[in-house]
Amino acid sequence: MKNVKSPLSKAFVIVISLILFIGMSAFLLEPASSTTGNEYLGYKAKDSAASVKAFADVYRVLMSPRCMNCHPAGEVPLQGDDSHIHQMLPKRGKDGNGIYAMKCKNCHQPSNTPGLNTPPGNPKWALPPADMKMVFEGKSARELAQQILDIKRNGHKTKEMLIEHARDTLVKAAWDMGEGRKPPPLTYSQFVKAWDTWINTGGYAPRK
Ligand code: HEC
Ligand code: HEC
């Protein structure tokens, strides 16, 4: 037999090359696909290493009890440095302000109530709304970075609004939560710096 290339082996070669090609392009495109969010937010500056490094610090704060207690996976907020379920189980409700007699603002005043084990306060005290839960609890760094930049899941926040959000009184409140509550692992100004750096260098999501 002169011609070794039977139609079958030809097809085989084509299939193998296709697989290799798809595999290679997936590998080459990985950095782009790990940056969910930044293309349509019109991010120009790109420095994936600096961005991912800054997000590592941001993530430590997001997952600290001071932030995570209001960003739970379930319908009830969490409490304390051990993030246990909130006593008396106040539920999120549609708008995040609680339901019926269990409205957050019944107990959470515009400022902290003095004393130990008293409700911390802020004029905006609430959970994120039911149609946009903004869950932090249980999320990997990659999942959380992608969620925060996804306009469909972050409350329709643009890049500018996200930068602004780090200056929100509710975020600042985490560094003044009343007696006996540990502050987040970075200072407030370190957090803002890491947050801005993360976004301004391209808003990259870590690989894990
Ligand atoms: C008292 C509850 C409460 C605390 C404490 C709190 N948040 Fe939030 N957070 C909310 C609410 C409510 C929203 C949705 C309303 C809004 O977007 O302003 C929100 C929205 C967000 C968003 C935008 C949503 C997203 O996924 O992009 C980010 C980011 C955020 N919070 C970060 C933080 C950080 C960081 C801390 C701690 C330093 C924190 N939050 C502490 C209630 C809280
Ligand atoms: C019946 C009163 C009451 C209601 C209603 C209430 N809380 Fe609380 N909350 C408290 C008290 C008291 C504490 C402090 C508990 C402690 O430190 O032992 C607290 C603590 C918290 C904490 C913990 C803060 C931290 O960082 O450890 C969060 C978060 C919280 N409440 C969110 C909410 C949200 C959101 C709502 C509405 C959905 C709500 N609470 C409704 C009384 C209430």
Q: What is the pLDDT of residue 37?
A: 45
**Contacts of range 166-173, beta carbons closer than 8 Å, 24 or more positions apart:** 166/191, 166/192, 166/195, 166/196, 167/192, 169/122, 169/123, 169/124, 170/70, 170/122, 170/124, 170/125, 171/67, 173/120, 173/122
Q: Which residues does ligand 1 sit against, CB inside 6 Å?
A: 61-62, 66-67, 70-71, 96, 125-128, 134, 147-148, 154-155, 157, 165, 170-171, 173-174, 184
* Residue among 170, 190, 198 to mutate when testing ligand 1 (max atoms within 8 A of CB): 170
How long a stretch of residues is the chain? Answer: 208
Q: 92, 98 in Cβ contact below 8 A? A: yes
Question: What is the chain's pLDDT, residue by residue, as a tens digit (208 residues)?
Answer: 555 556 667 776 666 665 555 555 444 333 333 444 445 455 566 889 999 999 999 999 999 999 999 999 999 999 999 999 999 999 999 999 999 999 999 999 999 999 999 999 999 999 999 999 999 999 999 999 999 999 999 999 999 999 999 999 999 999 999 999 999 999 999 999 999 999 999 999 999 8
* Residue among 69, 122, 171, 186 to mutate when testing ligand 1 (max atoms within 8 A of CB): 171
Quote the CA–CA distance of 99 and 207 in Å, as a whole number: 39
Burial of 37 (0-12, 13-18, 19+ CB in 10 A): buried
